[in-house]
Each structure stands twice: as structure tokens, then as C-alpha cells.
Chains A and B, each alone.
Chain A
Amino acid sequence: MKRFLQFAIDFIRAGFTGGLMFWAWMLFLSFFIMLWGYGEFVQIRDGMIVTNLTDQVSWGLYLANFVFMVGVAAAAVTVVFPAYVYKHHELHKIVVLGEMLAIAAVIMCLLFVTAHMGRPDRIWHIIPVIGIYNWPNAMLTWDVLVLTGYLILNLVGGFYFLFKKYTDQPLNKSFYIPLIFIAIVWALSIHTVTAFLINTMPARPMWHHSIMPIKFITTAFAAGPSLIIIVFMLVRKFTPLKIADEAFHMLSQIVTWCLGIALFLVLSEIVTELYPSTEHTAGLKYLMFGHNGLNMLVPFFWTAIALMVGSFILLLIPRIRKNMTILPFLCVGVFVGIWIDKGMGLMLPGVIPTPIGEFAEYSPSMIEMMIILGVWAIGLFILTVLIKGAVGVLLGDVSYGGKSDAAAT
């Protein structure tokens, strides 16, 4: 127990040590976190009226970001899976960084959901035993269940690994390996359930198709590893931790193929909807071409498509994919493209038009922007601390009775 406490202290201390750059970065994030605090305060005080959401468009960017982040969280699997199933040596060494990313992403998801709720003070109603749970009927309860489960799995898995490393003990394989495999399957479940959450509503025809879960998974496995590549590159640049090129090659291949499949699914969806072009296509048509001058989303849609297709073509070429200077830019392209596609491109046209055929445009209010940026800042803040701590442990700088003090000074 004492050892564990010491571990926590050392870990956090390592997470918060750094040079000028580090503190500037943290300060920068703190600014947005303050905005988040203010935004949440106003929203809780005055109600959701401070957002630009309406009865027509009652789900907006909070949920869009939520859906996207669930994907990023699930994508930690793209590190864990090759490492354990294919025994990818280079990835194996840094698996724990993927788990840290998942933890930060799930926390962001929970914050987005809280921001989305009209009455966050009643969140306890959804906690089993003290509240009541509409289980197994409501998809949202499933989502809460799998997300919390995933958070716990990653916390336990990640920190167990780090703790053992910290105390320099061998891993208990019969505990750790099953845990990893459960987490792999679980990761798929979180994103599948998120897809079910919205595609099980025939009242919203644009979402009501069974391609949704697989499309969710593939886009997630393209966007997630893109972010992971960027994070790993930063780790490689700013810390002594060595991450071999092979690890990046592996990840960029995953991005490429998942992106390819995702694009194929996008195409299938578009053709299926547009060819017969029934009344049910209204949402997608609005997204692609606008509706009688209401065309706010149109540029976003085409930007997303351009980013995804462009990056895909470039990624297909091995020489470019393996070029460590170009790769991060492609990753940013993929990440942003999918964020738009899955956020605005999915959430908004799903609820526009309304079930009675009414078109209403929505653009987030200042408060919404503050909260969204703030949650991202919180996520990055947590991620930075976790990654720094984890890297410290991996490098052996942070170890029980070891050089931890030296690292802190």
C-alpha cells in the first residue's frame, strides 16, 4: 500500500516536471480549462438556453464530439492488438501509452455527455442501485456501462503494468494477459454501442442503417491511430524514449486500410441513399448540397471528403507513408477529416430535417465553443500528465526507491 502511494506521488511528480515549453503548454491549456469552467457555470445557471440548440436541432456539437472521442478511445486497440496478438515487438514496448490515451479520451467522453445533459445535477439517476437504470432497454445505459467498464479496464491494465515496472517486479501473466484481451474486445464494444445509440432510431432515417457500427469502427481506427502517431512522434521528439520507425509503419498501415474501408462505406451509403433519393435522403442531401439556401454544412462535408480521400491516396504510396516528415501532416488531415465527418457530418444532418420535415440550421454558441475547447484542453492536459508519467516509468527514471528524486529535480 505504501509502495502504491509512493508510486502515485512519483508518477504525478514526473507528470508535472518539465521545461519551459512544458509549462507554457500547460498554461495554454489551463486558459481553456478556465473558459470551460466559466461555460459550464453559465450553462448550469441559465440552462441549455445558452447553447444554440433548439427543439429542432436538440443534439449538437457536444454529442458530435462525444461520438468522435469514443472512437479515439476505442482506437487504443490499434496499439494493443498488434502488440499482443501479432507480438509486434516495437509496439509492445509502448502499449501502455495507448492505454493512457484511452483513459484521457474516455474522460473527455464523460465530460461531453455531462455538458450535453440538461440536468447534470441529476446524473446520479443513471447510476445503478442509487438511481434506476432502464436496462437493458435504453442504449444510453449500455453506453454508460461500457464506457465506465472501459475506463476501469484501462486504468487497471495501464497502471498495473506501470506499477510493476515501477517496483521492478514481473507481471502476473495470468492476471494481465486476460485483462488485455478483455480490453481489446471491450474497446470494440464501446464504439459499437455508440453507433447503436443513434442508429436504432427509425425516427431519424439518416442514421437508421446497419452500416453505422462498422463505419464507426473503421473511421475510429483511422482517426485514433492518427492521433496516436502524432502523440508518439511528440514523445519521441521531446523525451529520450525510443520509439522505432517500425511502430509508426505499423500504425500508418492501420490508418490507411481502415480509412480505405471507411471511404468505401461512405460511398456505399451515399449511393444507396442518393440513387433512389427518397424522402429519407433529406438529411444526407442537406449535408451534401444544402437545402434552399441553407447550406452551412456543405463546405464542411466537402472539406472532410477532400481531406479523407486526399490523405488516403497519399498514404497508399509506401514512400510517402514511411516518410516521417510528411506522415504527421497526413495524420492531421485524416484526424480533422474524420472529426468533421463524424461530428458535424453525422450528428447534425441526422436531426435536420426534423421528423416533420422542417429544416433548421445550427451553429454552436460561444458558450458551447468554450465548453468544447475546454474539454479538449482537459483531455490534452490529462494526456500530457499521463504520458509524461508513463514515459518516466518506462525509461526507469521513475522507479521505487530509484532515481525518482533525481528526475524530480
Chain B
Amino acid sequence: MSKEDNKENGAQSVSRRDFLRKAGTYSAASLSGAAMLLSNPKPAQATTNVEWAEHFQKNYRLMTEEEKQEALDRLEKRYSEEFGKEVTVDGSPAMDGVLFGYALNIQKCIGCRRCAKACVAENNQSRGDEQQIEWIRVLRLEKGQFSADDRDNAGYPGDYGIQVGGNAYKPAGVVLEGQHYYEAEQVPEKDAFYMPMQCMQCEKPPCVKVCPVQTTYRDPDGIVVIDYNWCIGCRMCIGACPYWARRFNWGEPSLPAEEMNPVTHYLGNRPRMKGVAEKCTFCVQRTRKGRWTACVEVCPVGARKLGNLLDPESDVRKVLETKKVFRLRADLNTYPKFFYFMD
């Protein structure tokens, strides 16, 4: 899903944009940038210079305000050139008095996956045959059922009784054991229910703890962010995340210019490069401007709620007070700020 070898499609048309992107990549990756600088045609020169500057910048969190601004301007210029449209790169910090929380009504979710698609469009994930990245995963869980057939045929667990719901080969109703490749003709399916998952913005995020270079960190509004320019691609965070929320850019992301969302945030949906980790950031580019996330906006049944956990009037707080709420894998003490609830 994240990548499929489809090398026939690798015969790209060498448009100017492609060429620019490649030029930048080579220079960054091979440290032979000096040669590229000389051999590149004029228009690419600026881009390559920008790539070089990016290469030596500091960890975003340690930059002074000025340096941050420089970095943002640099990126705006480069992306605008690369994608042929006016791209803004925002750097707004966390707002005071805000701690973002999320609540999802699993009773309502119909498994249509519109959230996942809206997320890809909003957050500039890589798409195409070589590499598709989705931050939201909708698990399809089978409804539990007793069936004599299953029990007999599977022959498990022996003579000693029955397993509640499904059998050894058909997990049912077991949290985190659904599958997310379903292609339903019509949703919701009769025999299934759905559980979307994404980054839970843990209060005690293991991904942050294991990152050797502090690329990923928790901002004061509770959103765990990644400085893509600082990530060394070691994938420790992917190993440590109990929710399998992180994705890796195995190859150069493919992001068609016409589909690119030009309203970006440095720590959020700006175009990524190959070899870095990424994940949901509660649409930091939107939420820090007081907007809903794309998934909240698009959900047709209103199963998704976002809000400020510090504000008693917010949707999420109301949910927490009045509904039956649970969190995934509470045993791991990561304190997710993503809650599931039922009416």
C-alpha cells in the first residue's frame, strides 16, 4: 500500500518541474551539489541554492525568530517555483490556552473513507503508483458471531471450547485486528463495523522519546510535529508508535502540481522529501488558524469532533462528559488525546 514496485511508470516525462525536483534531490543526497550548481541551467539555480541553504539549517525548534522566517521564505520561494503556483508556508506557533483533543464516534462511522481521502488532498501526501501515503487508516472489524461451521472447520482451539466471535483465522471484535484494505461496494457493510485510526497526539508520545535528533516533538498545544528537514530517517519512531500512525517516504514523493494544496505549514502539510517520516498533525495549518481539520469537515455522518480540551464548552469536552469514552491501548500509558466514544 505504501509502495508498490511499478517501475514501468518510472519512465517519467521530463517536464521542467520534474527536472527541477530531481536536480534538487541529487544535490542534497549525493553531496555533489557543487557540480550540480555548475551544470544546472539558469532557472534551477535558485532552487538548488535554496536546497543547499536548507541542508545546513538548524533544527526548527532551536531557530531564532529571524532564522525561522528566513527558512519559511526560502521554502515559499522554492515551492512556488516548483509547483508553479503561489505557495505559502506558515510557521504559526501553538496558541496559548489550547490543548487539542479529538473524539470519534465509532457507532456512527460508516467506513466510507472520505476522511482518509480528504486528508491526502489537504496534507499533500504522496500519491501515484509507486508510493501512496495515507495518514488515516479505517479498520474494518468483523462483527462477532458464533458459527458452528467456523468452529468445526478451523478446528481451533481444539476440544476445549469455543472462541468468542469468529475463530482463530477470523478475528472478530478484537481491537486492532481489523483490516484496512477493504473495498466495499456499499458502506456500511452488514457484517462489519469500522474504527478509524490516525496519530493520537499522545501526551506521552513514545515516538518523541525515541527520536535520536529531536526531529519530532510535542508542541504546547499538544500536537506532535516533525521537522522534515531535520529527520534522519532512522524510523525509530515508526518502531515505537503503538498505533502504527507514522508513514515513511520510501521514495521521492509524487505530488502533482495541480493537486498540491498551496496553503501549508512548516510542521504540517508542506511537501515532504524522500527519506523522512510523517504523520497526522491535526491539520496544524488549519487548526492553528481556528479552522476544523479536513477530516472533521468532510465526515458525512459527523462522527468526528475536534476541540480544545482546556475549554469546557468545546465539543470534545462535552463528549468526554456525557458519552461512553475509551482510548486505545490504555495499558501503554501513552495517554492519547484521541478518544473513541459511543452514544
Contacts and interface: CB of A to CB of B under 8 A. Distances in A.
User: Of residues A51, A279, A356, which shows the largest number of chain B Cβ atoms within 10 Å of its Cβ?
Assistant: A356
19 contacts: A47-B251, A54-B250, A117-B234, A118-B233, A118-B235, A118-B250, A121-B30, A121-B31, A125-B230, A131-B59, A132-B213, A132-B214, A133-B214, A134-B213, A140-B236, A144-B212, A202-B242, A356-B243, A357-B178
Contact of A355 (B59, B180, B242): B242
B211 A134 contact: yes
Interface residues of B, number: 58
A356 B197 contact: yes
Interface in B173-224: 174, 176-180, 197, 206, 209-215
Nearest to A118: B233
A292 interface: yes
Interface in B9-48: 25-26, 28-31
Interface of A: 41, 44-49, 51, 53-56, 58-59, 116-123, 125-126, 131-134, 137-141, 144, 198, 200-204, 279, 292, 351, 354-358
A358 B137 CA distance: 12
Contacts of A131: 59, 213
Nearest to A56: B2
B97 interface: no
A116 B250 contact: no
Contacts of A121: 28-31, 55
A132 B62 contact: yes
Interface string B225-242: 000001111111011111
Q: Describe A's contact surface by its main secondary structure.
A: loop
Contacts of B276: 118-119
Given A54-B3, A203-B242, A356-B176, A122 B230 contact: yes
Given A44-B29, A48-B248, A55-B247, A201 B234 contact: no
Q: Describe B's contact surface by its main secondary structure.
A: loop
A126 B29 CA distance: 17
B62 A201 contact: no
A318 to B, nearest CB: 44
Query: 8 nearest interchain CB pairs?
Result: A118-B233, A118-B275, A49-B251, A47-B274, A203-B242, A140-B212, A49-B250, A55-B2
B111 interface: no
Contact of B213 (A125, A356, A357, A358): A125
A355 B232 contact: no
Given A54-B250, A121-B28, A202-B332, A139 B1 contact: no
B209 A138 contact: yes
Interface in B230-285: 230-236, 238-244, 246-252, 274-276
User: Of residues B2, B206, B244, which shows the largest number of chain A Cβ atoms within 10 Å of its Cβ?
Assistant: B244
Contacts of A292: 169
Nearest to B157: A277
Contacts of B116: none
A201 B210 contact: yes
B249 A47 contact: yes
B238 A58 contact: yes
B139 interface: yes
A279 B247 CA distance: 24
B171 interface: yes
B76 interface: no
B161 to A, nearest CB: 14
Nearest to B242: A203
A358 B180 CA distance: 9
B130 interface: yes
A201 B242 CA distance: 9
A126 B30 contact: no
B131 interface: yes
A122 B227 CA distance: 13
